[in-house]
Amino acid sequence: EAGVAQSPRYKIIEKRQSVAFWCNPISGHATLYWYQQILGQGPKLLIQFQNNGVVDDSQLPKDRFSAERLKGVDSTLKIQPAKLEDSAVYLCASSLSNPPSGRMNEQYFGPGTRLTVT
């Protein structure tokens, strides 16, 4: 079974530039998450999708961050314009919405995109 795919793996941009990240979840996973992990901290949820709808975007800085999952499969996360404090690893994860009976719902993480804003 293929895992969660993310690209690019690394990105360096200057402040005020724009950047976009892509995520392809595990086939059949209806729920998709974007996390931001600043160095030395645990991941923080930015946005959660259920199919192509947003379940939770309460911690997404909507003045500069946007995300979409138009067809309910892959997703993009965009930052425009970037700030120095956006330097972080951006993790995508996916999970089944309805796990098999007796199984807990487990999130599967991608390799992450390391963003450096200079």
Interacting residues toward other proteins by CB under 8 A: 9, 31, 37, 40-45, 48, 56, 89, 91, 93, 95, 104-114
Is the CB of 82 or the CB of 115 nearer to other proteins?
A: 115
- Smallest CA-to-CA distance from 5 within 116, 96, 112, 115 is with 112
Please give the Cα distance from 8 to 97 (Å, whole number). Answer: 27
Cβ at position 59, least distance to other proteins in Å: 10
Contact (CB, 8 A) for 46 and 67: yes
Cβ at position 10, least distance to other proteins in Å: 9
Burial profile 79-102: b = 16 or more Cβ within 10 angstroms, e = fewer: beebeeebbbbbbbbbbbeeeeee
Is the CB of 2 or the CB of 104 nearer to other proteins?
A: 104
Cβ at position 104, least distance to other proteins in Å: 5
